[in-house]
Amino acid sequence: MITSSIKLLIPTLVGLLCLHFARFSTASNDNERQIYIVYMGELPAEQTISLTDVHHSLLSDIIGDETIARKSKLYSYGRSFNAFAARLLPREAELLSKKEGVVSVFKNRKLKLLTTRTWDFLGMSEKIKRNHQTESNIIVALIDTGIWTESPSFNDKGFGPPPSKWKGKCVTGVNFTGCNNKVIGAQYFNIGESAPPDEATPADTEGHGTHTASTATGAAVASASLYGLGEGTARGAVPSARVASYKVCWGYGCMDVDMLAAFDAAIADGVDIISVSIGGSVRSFTEDSIGIGSFHALKKGILTVCAGGNDGPYLGSISNVGPWIMTVAASTVDRRFETDVELGNGDKISGIAINTFAPKKGLYPLTSGALAKNNATFGNSSACDYGTLDKEKVKGKIVYCKGAGGDYVVKELGGAGTVMSNDQDMDTAYATGSSASYVTLKDGLKIEKYINSTKSAQGVVYKTRIVNTTAPFIASFSSRGPQTLISNILKPDIAAPGVNILAAISKFTTVVGHENDKKTSIFNFNSGTSMACPHVAGAAAYVKSFHPKWSHAAIKSALMTTSKPIKVKEGGELASGSGQINPKMAVHPGLIYDINTTSYVGLLCKQGYKDKEIALITGSGKYNCSKIQRGKGADGINYPSINLQVKSRETNISAVFYRRVTNVGVGKSVYKARVESPKGVSVKVVPDILLFSRADQKRSFKVTLKGKFVDKDSRYLSGSLVWSDTKHEVRSPILVSLPIS
Ligand SMILES: *[C@@H]1O[C@H](CO)[C@@H](O)[C@H](O)[C@H]1NC(C)=O
Ligand SMILES: *[C@@H]1O[C@H](CO)[C@@H](O)[C@H](O)[C@H]1NC(C)=O
Ligand SMILES: *[C@@H]1O[C@H](CO)[C@@H](O)[C@H](O)[C@H]1NC(C)=O
Ligand SMILES: *[C@@H]1O[C@H](CO)[C@@H](O)[C@H](O)[C@H]1NC(C)=O
Ligand SMILES: *[C@@H]1O[C@H](CO)[C@@H](O)[C@H](O)[C@H]1NC(C)=O
Ligand SMILES: *[C@@H]1O[C@H](CO)[C@@H](O)[C@H](O)[C@H]1NC(C)=O
Ligand SMILES: *[C@@H]1O[C@H](CO)[C@@H](O)[C@H](O)[C@H]1NC(C)=O
Ligand SMILES: *[C@@H]1O[C@H](CO)[C@@H](O)[C@H](O)[C@H]1NC(C)=O
């Protein structure tokens, strides 16, 4: 049963963002009924009676009462797979799961959002070579919070009508002006009233969906900035491509029933790439709406790209790990949001924030929450908790608050600004609602000492300056492997910029997203694997515009084997996957590691999934593990990276990986293997020379790892295999890691 929740993948400082949770009454007065998804696999080859009728008669059979049966059914999925959603009693769900033709019944769960100079940074200049014609036939689907079509990033000047393969639609709703030739589709899913009916609209009232869509596909908009910060041309990876928006996230989260409906629609609508910046805790593939939806997508050759989560830097935190999914980590870019604080004693302290407020004078009186406390008996005045500060002691002053979230309290009381301390890694800048900055705990203590040392403490917070810095690193919040579902497949797969990303947002949101925030902008900075994911989806669309016939796995392989390794403090490749995307190189990868649908099934068989469970994931009853070749070797699939999880440090490392590459370069070539062995492990590649006489030729090789886990301090050993023909470098990380205990 599905139990935990999915969310948008944006990290938040505790106290910064209040999500409003709401409960909606159910239509049935039988309040024990809950929403279940009844999954019936693939669409029948021949449809004599409508699926809706099939679903209804199944329900009537179980429930008995015709009227209740009619009322309890919420939705029939039937464009890409066969399923329905209904309000059921647990007993009815149990009975249904035993019915002929029913593959599985699972409970609806909540997911969450995982909340531009980046393309230059990634080596894709505005003048990069493009296939405009093919690019304009590519449709990128964003399963997200909706879209604000009027954003200049979605201006359709110069676009022809949607490609002929497009079968989707554009629905109407409150605050939504419709689609154009850039945003060709907009739908929302609100099954079982995930949102109140008067809020049901494809419009993006959150900002997240507009941000991700413009990162992947936005047209170039000159002089984009947030109140002058980060000014430059904002653009997506594929400005000529089309966008189809599928809204599944509402005020309090994103529902499985809606997620599945979005996949059902997007696949049938004819999209090319699906981008999902949403996730939840890791669950078995048999209960995972994103895992199941993306498998259906792959059967139609569609690559699904997902954010890997914001639960780093802890090992074992990675999610959306399906081997057919491209799982994305977030990296930093080469800009830092310096927001300096100057003290009356001349000390200058460098903080990090997105502060668009410039000081109006030189120095202000400075105090701390602890000194400005009122007589309230509740709350924590040092942290500037709401209701704990005395207005008279705050007015006109800058206030030092321990922890995050004091800036609105100080602002409301007429304070001149706030300095907060942040115990997280200082790589992510958060927008402030007033003149404010975040400093390290150590610098915070320094400020506090100064305040306590004098009766006339003074200070000032400057407007943010963007300075150059070395990059990329993996963001501290970015979720890390090792994954727990299929231990010998490395996740995340790849990294892309996800820290302080400037992109379009919706006019219905404010800069900080706080209820008292009045400041709006049509561009804003955001951080999260949510922001990294559409970079990869856009890059995948870019590769596809040169190779429209390539499989989903070929595109994924091209992006992975051409990515640049990243030095990572915490987690190595468990944090970065193969490395930072390099879209320009990915167009010419030389060799690719291809994977077909049957191979994923062979892998699931090897993992011990039962035929019935496989039918559930694949949506097809035709796969039978006793007839399918199980994946060979340690991982059992032709994956573009090599990962071995050993039981313990004492285990003798001994494993074989089988691989098969396809030559996608032109004609004759000779590739030689170059190995960098993980410490204490010998790596043998046989053969270590691959000869190709023509394009599309395939060559097999095997990689044998032998050794001991010698490094006593590390939980992983890193190495690599590079196939080189002097023109191409086809790189796979080789990782040996310990399981998460
Ligand atoms: C529509 O926009 C108005 C004005 O921004 C806003 O107050 C309202 O909440 C929006 N309604 C919906 C359903 O998004
Ligand atoms: C706190 O002080 C205010 C103003 O002096 C007074 O009105 C209020 O009753 C006091 N509250 C408590 C809990 O002492
Ligand atoms: C008040 O909040 C700060 C910052 O979160 C924390 O360090 C401190 O321990 C808290 N004090 C109390 C008394 O809870
Ligand atoms: C500063 O003074 C406040 C209020 O008296 C006290 O709570 C705090 O611990 C002092 N901080 C330092 C660093 O001395
Ligand atoms: C920062 O980097 C950009 C791009 O490389 C360059 O144009 C700019 O001059 C640099 N600024 C500083 C202050 O070094
Ligand atoms: C899928 O790939 C495997 C491994 O390369 C191969 O043996 C098999 O024939 C392929 N199946 C189909 C249906 O192409
Ligand atoms: C799979 O094949 C085996 C052997 O042919 C057979 O016994 C079994 O019933 C089949 N399973 C399914 C689910 O079709
Ligand atoms: C590892 O190999 C050594 C030497 O071959 C052997 O003595 C030892 O028992 C093995 N350890 C394990 C845990 O299998």
Which residue from 529, 607, 548 is spatially nearest to 136, judged by alpha carbons? 548
Ligand 5 centroid to 334 CA: how many Å? 10
Residue nearest to atom 14 of ligand 6 (CA): 596
The DSSP 8-state label assigned to residue 197 in this structure reads G
Higher pLDDT, 58 or 122: 58
Higher pLDDT, 395 or 506: 395
Which residue from 399, 337, 329, 391 is spatially nearest to 364, judged by alpha carbons? 399
* For residue 470, pLDDT beyond 90: no
Indicate if 146 and 202 belong to the same structural domain: yes
158-162, 169-173, 515-519, 579-583: least confidently modelled range: 515-519
Indicate if 169 and 312 belong to the same structural domain: yes
* For residue 3, pLDDT beyond 60: no
73-87, 420-434, 649-663: least confidently modelled range: 420-434
The DSSP 8-state label assigned to residue 416 in this structure reads S
* Ligand 1 site residues, Cβ closer than 6 angstroms: 174-175, 199, 201, 203, 205, 508
CATH number at residue 512: 3.40.50.200
Residues labelled catalytic: 144, 208, 530
180-189, 240-249, 381-390: least confidently modelled range: 381-390
Strand partners for 298? none
Longest C-alpha distance within the chain, in Å? 86
pLDDT digits (tens, 9 = 90+) for 601-626: 999 999 999 988 898 888 887 888 99
Indicate if 533 and 656 belong to the same structural domain: no
Predicted pLDDT of residue 229: 80
* For residue 645, pLDDT beyond 80: yes
What is the mean pLDDT of the segment spanning 320-349? 94
Indicate if 102 and 127 belong to the same structural domain: no
* For residue 550, pLDDT beyond 50: yes
Predicted pLDDT of residue 192: 82
* For residue 124, pLDDT beyond 90: no
pLDDT digits (tens, 9 = 90+) for 472-514: 899 989 999 999 899 999 999 999 999 888 888 888 887 776 6
The response to whether residue 700 sits with its C-beta less than 6 Å from ligand 6 reads no
Indicate if 265 and 126 belong to the same structural domain: yes
Q: Quote the tokens at residue 604.
A: 């699931």
Task: Give the integer Cα–Cα distance in Å for 555 and 587.
Answer: 9
Average pLDDT taken over every residue of the chain: 89
Ligand 7 centroid to 49 CA: how many Å? 29
155 found inside a domain: yes
Locate the ligand 8 atom nearest the alpha carbon of residue 708 and give its number. 1
218-227, 291-300, 301-310: least confidently modelled range: 218-227
Indicate if 9 and 100 belong to the same structural domain: yes
Ligand 3 centroid to 404 CA: how many Å? 11
Residue nearest to atom 8 of ligand 8 (CA): 652
245 found inside a domain: yes
Q: What is the pTM of this model?
A: 0.89
Locate the ligand 1 atom nearest the alpha carbon of residue 199 and give its number. 13
Task: Give the integer Cα–Cα distance in Å for 515 and 1.
Answer: 36
* For residue 13, pLDDT beyond 60: no
Pocket test for ligand 3, best of 14, 377, 382 (most atoms within 8 A of CB): 382
Q: Quote the tokens at residue 543.
A: 């590769």
Give the pLDDT band of residue 11 (cuts 50, 70, 90): low
Residue nearest to atom 7 of ligand 1 (CA): 508
Locate the ligand 3 atom nearest the alpha carbon of residue 382 and give its number. 1
Predicted pLDDT of residue 739: 92
Ligand 2 centroid to 366 CA: how many Å? 24
Which residue from 74, 131, 69 is spatially nearest to 547, judged by alpha carbons? 131
* Ligand 8 site residues, Cβ closer than 6 angstroms: 650-652
Predicted pLDDT of residue 707: 96
Other Cβ atoms within 10 Å of 246 Cβ, number: 30
The answer to whether the beta carbons of residues 249 and 145 sit under 8 Å apart is yes
Pocket test for ligand 7, best of 100, 626, 629, 630 (most atoms within 8 A of CB): 626
Task: Give the integer Cα–Cα distance in Å for 123 and 7.
Answer: 31
Q: Quote the tokens at residue 623.
A: 């796969």
Q: Quote the tokens at residue 95.
A: 């009975």
Strands, DSSP E only, in 541-680?
591-593, 642-645, 653-663, 669-676
Give the Å distances, CA to CA, from 707 to 646, 651, 701, 710, 733: 11, 9, 20, 8, 17
Give the Å distances, CA to CA, from 608 to 266, 485, 631: 31, 11, 11
573 found inside a domain: no
Indicate if 725 and 600 belong to the same structural domain: yes
Pocket test for ligand 6, best of 552, 597, 598 (most atoms within 8 A of CB): 598
Predicted pLDDT of residue 29: 43
The answer to whether the beta carbons of residues 377 and 474 sit under 8 Å apart is no
20-29, 582-591, 653-662: least confidently modelled range: 20-29
What is the mean pLDDT of the segment spanning 341-350? 96
Domain final residue pick, 564, 599, 617? 564
Residue nearest to atom 11 of ligand 7 (CA): 624
Q: Quote the tokens at residue 105.
A: 């019944």
Q: Which DSSP helix (H) or strand (E) runs through 393?
A: helix 391-394
583 found inside a domain: no
Highest averaged pLDDT of the listed ranges 114-118, 193-197, 231-235, 486-490: 486-490
122-131, 339-348, 564-573, 574-583: least confidently modelled range: 122-131
Predicted pLDDT of residue 567: 84
What is the mean pLDDT of the segment spanning 305-317? 93
Ligand 3 centroid to 370 CA: how many Å? 10
pLDDT digits (tens, 9 = 90+) for 415-448: 999 999 977 777 888 888 889 999 999 999 999 9
Amino acid, res. 132:
H
Ligand 4 centroid to 449 CA: how many Å? 7
The answer to whether the beta carbons of residues 436 and 400 sit under 8 Å apart is no
Residue nearest to atom 4 of ligand 7 (CA): 626
Pocket test for ligand 8, best of 651, 652, 654, 709 (most atoms within 8 A of CB): 652
Give the pLDDT band of residue 16 (cuts 50, 70, 90): very low
Q: Scanning the structure block, which residue is given the tokens 């009728």?
A: 53
Give the pLDDT band of residue 711 (cuts 50, 70, 90): confident
What is the mean pLDDT of the segment spanning 528-534? 95
Task: Give the integer Cα–Cα distance in Å for 477 and 310.
Answer: 5
19 found inside a domain: yes
Predicted pLDDT of residue 1: 32
The two beta strands, 325-331 and 303-307, are parallel
The DSSP 8-state label assigned to residue 74 in this structure reads E
Domain count along the chain: 4
Measured from the alpha carbon of residue 392, the closest ligand is: 2
Which residue from 530, 574, 619 is spatially nearest to 254, judged by alpha carbons? 530
- Residue 167: phi, psi to the nearest 5? -120, 15
What is the mean pLDDT of the segment spanning 545-574? 95
Measured from the alpha carbon of residue 421, the closest ligand is: 3
Measured from the alpha carbon of residue 448, the closest ligand is: 4
Q: Scanning the structure block, which residue is given the tokens 């919706």?
A: 506
Predicted pLDDT of residue 461: 97
Other Cβ atoms within 10 Å of 100 Cβ, number: 5
Ligand 2 centroid to 450 CA: how many Å? 30
Give the pLDDT band of residue 21 (cuts 50, 70, 90): very low
* For residue 515, pLDDT beyond 50: yes
Say which residues have a Cβ less than 8 Å from residue 575's Cβ, sequence separation at least 6: 312, 313, 329, 474, 478, 480, 481, 492, 495, 568
Predicted pLDDT of residue 9: 62
Indicate if 614 and 697 belong to the same structural domain: yes
Residue nearest to atom 13 of ligand 3 (CA): 380
Domain final residue pick, 444, 468, 492? 468
Predicted pLDDT of residue 28: 39
Indicate if 307 and 418 belong to the same structural domain: no
What is the mean pLDDT of the segment spanning 83-88? 94
572 found inside a domain: no
Indicate if 253 and 273 belong to the same structural domain: yes
Ordered DSSP codes for 501-569: EEEE--TTS-SS--TT-----SEEEE-SHHHHHHHHHHHHHHHHHH-TT--HHHHHHHHHHTSBP---S
Other Cβ atoms within 10 Å of 197 Cβ, number: 8
Measured from the alpha carbon of residue 469, the closest ligand is: 5
Predicted pLDDT of residue 514: 67
Ligand 3 centroid to 383 CA: how many Å? 6
Q: Scanning the structure block, which residue is given the tokens 């649908």?
A: 597
Task: Give the integer Cα–Cα distance in Å for 210 and 205.
Answer: 9
Give the pLDDT band of residue 284 (cuts 50, 70, 90): confident
The response to whether residue 445 sits with its C-beta less than 6 Å from ligand 4 reads yes
Could you tell me the residue range of the domain that residue 81 belongs to? Answer: 4-107
CATH number at residue 30: 3.30.70.80
Indicate if 319 and 343 belong to the same structural domain: no
What is the mean pLDDT of the segment spanning 122-144? 85
* Conformation bin of residue 103: beta by default, left when phi > 0, alpha when psi is -120 to 50: alpha
577 found inside a domain: no
Domain final residue pick, 107, 137, 162? 107
Higher pLDDT, 118 or 61: 61
- Residue 224: phi, psi to the nearest 5? -80, 140
Predicted pLDDT of residue 122: 61
Predicted pLDDT of residue 542: 96
Give the Å distances, CA to CA, from 168 to 139, 154, 243, 276: 11, 18, 11, 18
pLDDT digits (tens, 9 = 90+) for 207-248: 899 999 999 999 888 777 787 787 888 888 899 999 999 999
Give the pLDDT band of residue 560 (cuts 50, 70, 90): very high
Ligand 2 centroid to 392 CA: how many Å? 14
Q: Quote the tokens at residue 697.
A: 């030729």
Ligand 6 centroid to 599 CA: how many Å? 7
Indicate if 235 and 326 belong to the same structural domain: yes
Locate the ligand 1 atom nearest the alpha carbon of residue 175 and give its number. 1
The answer to whether the beta carbons of residues 241 and 139 sit under 8 Å apart is yes
Predicted pLDDT of residue 621: 77
CA angle, corner 13, sides to 9 and 18, nearest 5?
A: 80
* For residue 6, pLDDT beyond 70: no
Measured from the alpha carbon of residue 250, the closest ligand is: 1
Task: Give the integer Cα–Cα distance in Å for 375 and 372.
Answer: 10
CATH number at residue 729: 2.60.40.2310
579 found inside a domain: no
Q: Quote the tokens at residue 554.
A: 């070929």
- Residue 531: phi, psi to the nearest 5? -85, -30
Strand partners for 296? none
Pocket test for ligand 3, best of 16, 368, 378, 380 (most atoms within 8 A of CB): 380
- Residue 34: phi, psi to the nearest 5? -130, 160
Which residue from 310, 319, 294 is spatially nearest to 4, judged by alpha carbons? 319
Strands, DSSP E only, in 596-728?
642-645, 653-663, 669-676, 681-686, 689-692, 698-707, 716-724
